[in-house]
Amino acid sequence: MEQRFFPQEEYTNGDFQAVQIPICHPDRPEKPLDTWVPLTPIEEMAKQEYDVLIVGTGAGASAVAWKLAQEEGIEDKKIGMIDAGGLYIPTHVNNIPTLEGRRDAYRFNEKISRPIGEPDLPASKQVIGFGGKAIMWGELRFGFSRMNLPFGQFRMMILNRIMN
What mean pLDDT, rounded, does the chain reach? 73
For residue 18, pLDDT beyond 90: no
- Write down the pLDDT at residue 126: 76
- Write down the pLDDT at residue 49: 94
- Write down the pLDDT at residue 46: 94
- Write down the pLDDT at residue 163: 66
Highest mean pLDDT (candidates 37-46, 52-61, 146-155): 37-46
- Write down the pLDDT at residue 11: 47
pTM, rounded to two decimals: 0.56
Q: Are 10 and 26 in contact (CB under 8 A)?
A: no
Q: Are 106 and 93 in contact (CB under 8 A)?
A: yes
152-158-163 Cα angle (round to 5): 125
Give 101-149 pLDDT, tens digit per residue: 887 787 778 887 888 888 888 877 777 777 655 656 554 455 555 555 4
Q: Name the β-bridge partners of 22.
A: 5
43-131-153 Cα angle (round to 5): 90
- Write down the pLDDT at residue 19: 62
Q: d(Cα 26, Cα 8) in Å, to the nearest integer?
A: 22
